Chain A
Amino acid sequence: MTSLVTATNVSKRYGDVHAVDNVSFEIDKGKIMGLFGPNGAGKTTLLKAVLGLTDCEGQLSVLGLDPFKQRKELMQNICFIADVAVLPRWIKVSQLLDFMEATHPNFTRSRSEELLSRTKVRKNAKVSELSKGMVTQLHLSIIAAIDAKLLVLDEPTLGLDIIFRKEFYSNLLSDYFDGERTILITTHQVEEIENLMTDIMFIHDGRILLDSSMEALPDIYTELTTSGENADKARQLGPIYERDVFGKKVMTFEGVSKEQLEGLGEPHTPSVADLFVAKVKGAAA
């Protein structure tokens, strides 16, 4: 079994609102899956369901476990960073390490200490005395010291400055990711992880708009910059989304080959951010 997460027809309702609406997907071992969606799209709800923090309808299996019913077993093999605010502010760094050592069977304290020694985080400091960036470093040093199979990151770099953000992802790759582990990540800063992820998923209004490997994206999606008559011809091929850039038309195509578009303008592969906008706006239209 290589699939770590298997969701089949997963739904979660809050009253009349379908936060997650009949969603099915798989995440294979060793992948870095980026999950994107506008605010309120259902990202966090989906992550919570995967983490067993909320129950849901449908079949959801994570590491072969039912996340809601077997949360304790699951959490021995999953790590989770929600956002920098969640480490308790009153705790001292040394206390946090003591607590992790006492309660987490897969935590290696020396590893965490080694990673922390590279930072300015002092062991006797309280979390409330650390800067946001340092809290993230602390959290990552704990996560990286857990021998977990799946790491779930929900907006891990929210509120951090650019230096810490870059550092976070490079540390994530060097200290955590080893090809054996799997990462599921959401962020608004798509461009920061564009070169990092192996797979991508878009979610909007509780539904999955896109679920693909990064490798496959250029074969499926093409962005065409065109104008005038060519634009009309291109429009016949059914772009999923069209926008104006400096008087030119930029169209996004799905399943139309680059050869077909060659004569109509300049075809290229869209950035993830542009593709995201195209998919979301296209779905709304």
Chain B
Amino acid sequence: MIANQLALVRRELWEHKSLYVTPAIVALVLILTILTAFVFASGHQEIVDIGILGAQNIAGEGERRAALLALLIGNTIPFILVSAILTTFYCLDSLYAERKSKSILFWRSLPITDAETVVSKSLTAALAIPLVAFAVIVIAHLVILLMTSIFVSIEGGNSMLLIWKSAPLFDAWAGILLIMLLLPIWFSPFIGWFLFVSAWTKRAPLLMAFLPLVLLPTLEYWVLRTHLIFDAITTRFDHLPIFKGIDLEQFFNDEKFVGNVDSVSLLGFIDIGKFLASPQMWAGVIVAGLFITAAIYVRRYRDDT
């Protein structure tokens, strides 16, 4: 069972090279951008010198840690956005392409159930895509920090103190990994819906997936003058129950914050309890489960090859 899932998920990664090529391209773009920024910065010697001097002598450990955490998080957000797009396209393609190419006849000639296949595609979307992206993020972070420390050293700074001793690498990575694993669960109704559309539509999966998301709320408003569907869709995008409430004003002004190194923590901002206690999260998982079950059913009973 688990061995089959591993083989099936590995197959998905063989087929969908974009799942690792795209994050790699994002990493390359980020690295090149930062490199360009360093070259540009070298032209402004005084500002760089003052910056390094300030960071070494005036800033406290907490501030240096916060600055580096911000650098790491900033260089993670593009990966998360790209992962969301990749997941969408992957899901829409995963059960559609095999029907279009008729290779479904080959896959179904093997001793693998439709449920196993659809589950493997769900796992690829919810687990494999974030894990692959995370691996690329870790490599990108290390390269960026290495470049930064070389730049700081060339400019006469103490890169050991400024970068390697100050960077909260494991806190940042643990936090990023956790967020990247929670996000697909939170957005799982979309994963389920896309997989279902992919299994069901005869053509244009992208259109068939997004058209109802626009048409249904519009129709509901015309007919019933209510906006329940609209709310159900849009509330997924605000109030993610992953983070503790952050008072931004306090975040930037609190004297204690800078003094307390341990409070500079991404992991510390994540609230697993709140996530697990969120009824919306569980409702979303149930909706996803229904869509995935429907996708299995369609793949099993539909006979159009």
Residues of chain A having any CB pair with chain B under 8 Å: 48, 51, 53-55, 71-76, 78-82, 85-92, 95, 98-100, 102-105
A89 touches B112 (CB 8 A): no
B14 touches A90 (CB 8 A): yes
Closest chain-A Cβ to B265's Cβ sits at a distance in Å of 41
Residues on the B chain within 8 Å of A80, using CB: 105, 109
B106 touches A86 (CB 8 A): yes
Q: Roughly how many angstroms separate A100 CA and B11 CA in the complex, as a whole number?
A: 11
Given contacts A87-B103, A105-B111, 5 further A-B contacts (CB under 8 A): A76-B111, A85-B102, A86-B106, A89-B103, A90-B14
Among residues 92 to 109 in chain B, which have CB atoms less than 8 Å away from a CB atom of chain A? Answer: 98, 101-109
Residues of chain B having any CB pair with chain A under 8 Å: 3-4, 6-8, 10-11, 14-15, 98, 101-113, 301, 303
Closest chain-A Cβ to B164's Cβ sits at a distance in Å of 40
Residues on the A chain within 8 Å of B11, using CB: 95, 99
Given contacts A53-B303, A55-B301, A103-B4, contact A86 B103 (CB under 8 A): yes
Closest to B15 in A: A90
Q: Roughly how many angstroms separate A76 CA and B111 CA in the complex, as a whole number?
A: 5
B7 touches A53 (CB 8 A): no
Residues on the A chain within 8 Å of B109, using CB: 51, 75, 78-82
Residues on the A chain within 8 Å of B112, using CB: 72, 75, 103
A89 touches B101 (CB 8 A): yes
A71 touches B15 (CB 8 A): no
Closest chain-A Cβ to B4's Cβ sits at a distance in Å of 6
Closest to B17 in A: A90
Residues on the A chain within 8 Å of B106, using CB: 82, 86-88
B108 touches A103 (CB 8 A): no
B110 touches A82 (CB 8 A): no
Residues on the B chain within 8 Å of A72, using CB: 111-113
Instruction: Offer 7 A-B interface pairs, CB within 8 angstroms, sorted by A.
Output: A72-B111, A82-B106, A99-B10, A102-B3, A102-B6, A103-B4, A103-B111
Query: Of the candidates A48, A55, A103, which one forms a contact with B110 in the assembled complex, judged by CB atoms under 8 Å apart?
Result: A103
Closest chain-B Cβ to A166's Cβ sits at a distance in Å of 24
B4 touches A102 (CB 8 A): yes
Residues on the B chain within 8 Å of A91, using CB: 14-15
A48 touches B98 (CB 8 A): no
Residues on the B chain within 8 Å of A82, using CB: 102, 105-106, 109
